[in-house]
Amino acid sequence: MSGLNPVAAAESQAELIIDLAALVANWRSLAARIAPAACAAVVKADAYGVGAEQASKALYDAGCRVFFVAQASEGVRVRAVVGAEPAIYVLNGLIAGAGRLDPYVAHDLRPVLGSLEDLRIWSASGLGRSIKAALHVDSGMNRLGLPHGESLTLAGQVGALGIDLVMSHFVSSEVSADPLNAQQIAGFDAVRAAFPGLQASMANSAGLFLPQRPFYDLVRPGYALYGGNPTPDAPNPMRAVVTLRAPIIQTREIGAGESVGYNAQWTARRVSRLATIGVGYADGLLRALMGTDARIGGEAVVAGVHCPFAGRVSMDLTVIDVTDVPGGVRAGDMVELLGPTITVDDMAARAGTIGYEILTNLGRRYARTYRR
């Protein structure tokens, strides 16, 4: 089960279909691309919204043996379904305080140590003698990780700390021509040379498609596994994993000049047919997808026709202009909000955001169907 309360189809006004076979196919495609390096899976944030337990189990069954999460609580959930064999790294490092290290001991989680304070806590605990850890070196993100200089002073200490992996994170790998990529790779190469006995990891989803092929020993895809495009300037090489559908709950016809929704932001320019669905921003359909007189917002596919949103996205409802659907629509007809036709990247572009936000906002009220 995911960390969200399951909702039965009869209780929900929308269905989220998660294609675990597509998820596995995406992982296998990336694993083949980077071989002989190993391919991990990033399953933080409830596996980018699709369900950490279901995604992790499917990936484990497919052969994945290294997982990354953001927080120890996520690692506990993943360990419960993948068993004792895989390595599970916790990206956000350690937090000082009584009992904070207990999950690492109880569930064999590997912390990613990214500061001198992390190293102090870990060293004082003595856990490095029994639990592996990773060393995070900052190469330009300035978010987490030790600066190069500080990391190089640890070259002789990694054995006592149980460190088996040195890693960093790209700033702009989705822009293949960005000179920052080459700068970061050069900097990380220098750090890696100081730790010859450790595995090395740098590439995220987009990093797997950089011409420099910075695969090292281990890559850490996340977004691409769930169908997001790791190459924004080229066709998406990944398969769609999520499909979001909702039934129409009411239709109506309005005249030219009538408005729709809060604050009358959308005005019909002709006699229009409208359909209302029971999905809104409380379900993760971002309010920025509103359609107004000044801009085209989100859209849905209704009977094969792309239909724009009309007016503001409300908490629980969204109105769609279905005037151009041949033969009309009726209550109960299904509309596609995400899927093979409207990708997470398509929706994100219309909302002025990124597909990561679309995925991780997938709502708690959807009836979730997992397909294998």
User: Which residues are known to be catalytic?
Assistant: 44, 262
For residue 344, the one-letter residue type is V
Going by C-alpha positions, the residue among 161, 160, 164 that lies closest to residue 195 is: 164
Residues 6+ apart with CB under 8 A from 36: none
Question: What are residue 313's DSSP bridge partners?
Answer: none
Ramachandran region of residue 51, left (φ > 0), alpha (ψ -120 to 50) or beta? left
Query: How many other CB atoms are found less than 10 A from the CB of residue 235?
Result: 6
HEC string for the chain: CCCCCCCCHHHCCCEEEEEHHHHHHHHHHHHHHHCCCEECEECHHHHHCCCHHHHHHHHHHHCCCEEEECCHHHHHHHHHHHCCCCEEEECCCCCCCCCCCHHHHHHCCEEEECCHHHHHHHHHHCHHHCCCEEEEECCCCCCCCECHHHHHCCCCCHHHHCEEEEECCCCCCCCCCCHHHHHHHHHHHHHHHHCCCCEEECCCCHHHHCCCCCCCCEECCCHHHHCCCCCCCCCCCCCCCEEEEEEEEEEEEECCCCEECHHHCEECCCCEEEEEECCCHHHCCCHHHCECCCCCCCEEEECCEEEEECECCCCCCEEEECCCCCCCCCCCCEEEEECCCCCHHHHHHHHCCCHHHHHHCCCCCCEEEEEC
Residue showing tokens 């997938």: 362
User: Does a cis peptide bond (omega within 30 degrees of 0) precede residue 326?
Assistant: no
